[in-house]
A and B are shown apart, each in its own frame.
Chain A
Amino acid sequence: MEPLLEVRHLKKYFHTGYGTLHAVDDVSFRIPKGSTLGLVGESGCGKTTTGRSILRLIEPTSGEVLFKGRKVLDATPSELRALRSEMQIIFQDPYSSLNPRMTVSQIIGEPLLIHRRARDKKELERKVRDLMEKVELADRLYGAYPHELDGGRRQRIGIARALSLHPQFIVCDEPVSALDVSVQAQILNLLKDLQEELGLTYLFITHDMSVVKHMSDTIAVMYLGQIVEMAPAEALFEKQLHPYTQALISAIPLLEPGGWKDEEVLKGELSSPIDPQPGCRFAPRCPMVKSQCTEQDPPFVESAKGRFSSCVRAKEMI
């Protein structure tokens, strides 16, 4: 099946005073229509930069992004504008991503105005109210300001705004990490319901392993700018074919009291993404490291059916 979105060899380098920072370094994946790809990793691994580069909110250094076969990175400003109505984003922080001087209805209605999707005031109002209903925002909040609302409701505004132009693809960038668990569950349910109802395709970015498992069909694990493992969600949690994924999953504080074993967890910390050395980026922390790991970049290959890993020892882990 033709994927809705395909990303090929995406790179984003930032030039800093200390050298070149490889924020996203040769990332490739495809997302079939109506499904969710979860992008998971720790802070600084490049997941947000990947999401923003796809939408060209940041201009990537090189690579290719195909949306329904169209080349996003070659799009002219006017083509890009048209594309953006089909590709939207929900931001992490519902506090800073809403203009405090605009009312709920103005925020949700703004994309409709910019893209001239309403003939008159009446139609605009009707569309905004429909969107509010869709994200379960009470009608009485039509004229309210963001500061009057809690985090969960603010995130609903962000979702309504993203939906206003009927996009097919939405980048969800840590949409629930600023929320309490009981509210987080409400928003996750809403996102799933909307996906089913509207046939949406999501790139779901998060640092939370439980959330990514719950939301995704396929999960890609990022480490220092690269995808190290990609697999169907259920399969990934059953068995990991990369030592970093293994470490990530064993580090989760389980809900079972005393469920943690005493064995030592992953040692050390992320190395710098500035001018990285050749070889596997995870090698300095890897419990399974071999000499060949630091000699050349490991290829990202299909190690088992439908499962991709960049670990040279992936086959041993099956």
Chain B
Amino acid sequence: MGEAQLSIRNLYVEYHTDEEVVHAVNGISLDLEQGESLGLVGETGAGKTTTALSILGLLPKPNGKVTSGSIFFEGKELSQIPEEEMRQIRGNRISMIFQDPMTSLNPIFPVGEQIAEALEIHFSLSKEQAAKRTAELLELVGIPRNRMGEYPHQFSGGMKQRVVIAMALACNPKLLLADEPTTALDVTIQAQVLRMIRDLKRRMRTTLILISHDLGVVAQICDTVAIMYAGKIMEYGKIEDVFHHPLHPYTEGLFASIPRLDRTQKRLSSIPGLIPDPSNLPSGCVFHPRCPYRMDVCNQIVPTTVEWEGRKVQCLKYQELS
């Protein structure tokens, strides 16, 4: 095991509103090596996007706050460095692909200019140099270079997302955060974009955090996977391990509730109940109200992370094993 490129230690993030405190991320820890790709999976409100935004220092101000924990990137603690230096890292060393390609491009500028902007800022390239590099980037994501001068509305959804990806790759980032990059796309277009991301990742050895609610998407792209629920990582491990032998009852429930193509099911097994309100989380294990294996102690004791054979799980069932 080499030195981790990104290391998140016991991170807590809260959003403060007038009425309540939303506990969005509740003590997560992660380590990523250079070139690794991690899938961050969970349902709405699990804290996936908040995690990504805290890495980039883009939590909405003044409501969102990292209340404790730390994020180390290439040995530097990101929360301790001045905003000026963070701006050098953001979009350059670390960049992000947002979910909705329709709203992440500026409608009044040609796409080429939007890609070139990052190059001009971070690499102080001249207009000509930036334009040349932009053309290369567009070809890299499968868009003919002669479309550089076109505006976002002239592109389809899938092509727009390619532009967004080209923009994110402009400065050869070391770490790429992709937040539901194909959720807004149709399945055949999604397949094209996912294959492209997979090929680019192999070629450029960029570290990738892929946020998705779709376990199938993560299965095709990632090496490791973290299953999030109510701001915690319930289970973490190599993708094959987690997919073939899920340990946490939530992971198990999640897999069982997906209709399968490879078998016939009369009924789906669903997880009873609802995702907890993040401003009012259950005591003990956050999953206990919905857990089929609930024990008497589950509403009293907060499970710690149990670790063995490269896998991590937060469940009292496994506590004695550690």
Most buried by A among B186, B215, B254: B186
Q: How far is the CA of A181 from the CA of B189 in the complex (A)?
A: 22
Q: Is B192 an interface residue (CB 8 A)?
A: yes
Q: Please give the distance in Å from A95's CB to the nearest CB on chain B.
A: 12
Please tell me which one of the listed residues B186, B240, B254, B261 contacts residue A237 in the complex, with CB atoms under 8 A apart. B261
Q: How large is the interface on A (under 10, 10 to 19, 20 to 34, 35 or more residues)?
A: 35 or more
Please tell me which one of the listed residues B214, B219, B270 contacts residue A259 in the complex, with CB atoms under 8 A apart. B219
Q: Is A207 an interface residue (CB 8 A)?
A: yes
Residues of A within 8 A of B267 (CB): 189, 192
Q: Is A97 an interface residue (CB 8 A)?
A: no
In the complex, what residue of chain A is closest to B212 when comparing beta carbons? A253
Residues of A within 8 A of B257 (CB): 181-182, 184-185
Residues of A within 8 A of B262 (CB): 254
Q: How far is the CA of A152 from the CA of B216 in the complex (A)?
A: 22
> Are the C-beta atoms of A209 and B268 separated by less than 8 Å?
no
Q: How far is the CA of A213 from the CA of B258 in the complex (A)?
A: 12
In the complex, what residue of chain A is closest to B290 when comparing beta carbons? A182
Known contacts A255-B215, A257-B219, A259-B219; A210/B187 CB under 8 A: no
In the complex, per-residue mask of B157-195: 1 if CB is within 8 Å of any chain A CB, else 0 = 011000000000000000000000000001111111011
Interface residues of A in 253-296 (CB under 8 A from B): 253-260, 264-267, 269
> Are the C-beta atoms of A185 and B268 separated by less than 8 Å?
yes
> Are the C-beta atoms of A269 and B259 separated by less than 8 Å?
no
> Are the C-beta atoms of B186 and A42 separated by less than 8 Å?
yes
Known contacts A214-B265, A253-B217, A259-B219; A180/B44 CB under 8 A: yes
Q: How far is the CA of A138 from the CA of B82 in the complex (A)?
A: 51
In the complex, what residue of chain B is closest to A233 when comparing beta carbons? B264
Q: Is A61 an interface residue (CB 8 A)?
A: no
> How many residue pairs between the two chains, A and B, have CB atoms under 8 Å in the bound complex?
118
Q: Is B154 an interface residue (CB 8 A)?
A: no
Q: Please give the distance in Å from A301's CB to the nearest CB on chain B.
A: 25
Interface residues of B in 110-168 (CB under 8 A from A): 156, 158-159
Residues of A within 8 A of B44 (CB): 180
Q: Is A211 an interface residue (CB 8 A)?
A: yes
Q: How far is the CA of A122 from the CA of B62 in the complex (A)?
A: 51
Please tell me which one of the listed residues A181, A192, A260 contacts residue B43 in the complex, with CB atoms under 8 A apart. A181
Q: Please give the distance in Å from A23's CB to the nearest CB on chain B.
A: 17
Q: How far is the CA of A255 from the CA of B240 in the complex (A)?
A: 10
Q: Is B255 an interface residue (CB 8 A)?
A: yes
Q: Is A251 an interface residue (CB 8 A)?
A: yes
Q: Please give the distance in Å from B200's CB to the nearest CB on chain A.
A: 14
Q: How far is the CA of A185 from the CA of B255 in the complex (A)?
A: 11
In the complex, what residue of chain A is closest to B244 when comparing beta carbons? A257
> Are the C-beta atoms of A251 and B220 separated by less than 8 Å?
no
> Are the C-beta atoms of B261 and A182 separated by less than 8 Å?
no
Residues of B within 8 A of A237 (CB): 261
Residues of A within 8 A of B186 (CB): 42-43, 207
> Are the C-beta atoms of A260 and B213 separated by less than 8 Å?
no
Q: How far is the CA of A184 from the CA of B269 in the complex (A)?
A: 11
Please tell me which one of the listed residues A183, A210, A250 contacts residue B258 in the complex, with CB atoms under 8 A apart. A210
Q: Please give the distance in Å from B257's CB to the nearest CB on chain A.
A: 4
In the complex, what residue of chain B is closest to A210 when comparing beta carbons? B259
Number of interface residues of B (CB under 8 A): 44
Residues of A within 8 A of B191 (CB): 250-251, 253, 265-266
Known contacts A181-B257, A253-B214, A258-B220; A42/B274 CB under 8 A: no
Q: Is A150 an interface residue (CB 8 A)?
A: yes
In the complex, per-residue mask of B253-282: 1 if CB is within 8 Å of any chain A CB, else 0 = 111111111101101111110110000000
Q: Is B94 an interface residue (CB 8 A)?
A: no
Please tell me which one of the listed residues A182, A249, A253, A265 contacts residue B270 in the complex, with CB atoms under 8 A apart. A182
> Are the C-beta atoms of A265 and B268 separated by less than 8 Å?
no
Residues of A within 8 A of B271 (CB): 182, 185
> Are the C-beta atoms of A234 and B264 separated by less than 8 Å?
yes
Residues of A within 8 A of B253 (CB): 182
Residues of A within 8 A of B215 (CB): 255
Residues of A within 8 A of B189 (CB): 42, 269
In the complex, what residue of chain B is closest to A234 when comparing beta carbons? B264
Q: How far is the CA of A234 from the CA of B214 in the complex (A)?
A: 23
Most buried by B among A182, A254, A255: A182
In the complex, what residue of chain B is closest to A237 when comparing beta carbons? B261
Q: Is B72 an interface residue (CB 8 A)?
A: no
Q: How far is the CA of A247 from the CA of B269 in the complex (A)?
A: 29
Q: Is A99 an interface residue (CB 8 A)?
A: no
Q: Is B243 an interface residue (CB 8 A)?
A: yes
> Are the C-beta atoms of B219 and A258 separated by less than 8 Å?
yes
Please tell me which one of the listed residues A42, A150, A254, A267 contacts residue B219 in the complex, with CB atoms under 8 A apart. A254
Q: How far is the CA of A184 from the CA of B214 in the complex (A)?
A: 13
Residues of B within 8 A of A80 (CB): none
Enumerate chain A interface residues (CB-CB to B < 8 A). Answer: 42-43, 150, 152, 180-186, 188-189, 192, 207, 209-211, 213-214, 234, 237, 247-260, 264-267, 269
- Ordered nearest first, which 7 A-B pairs have the shortest CB separation? A253-B216, A185-B270, A185-B257, A214-B259, A251-B191, A180-B43, A42-B186
A-B contact pairs, 10 of them (CB 8 A): A180-B213, A182-B271, A183-B270, A189-B270, A209-B261, A214-B268, A252-B187, A253-B217, A255-B243, A259-B220
- Beyond the given pairs A180-B213, A259-B219, 5 more chain A to chain B contacts, judged by CB atoms under 8 angstroms and listed by A's residue number, are A182-B254, A183-B274, A211-B259, A250-B191, A256-B243
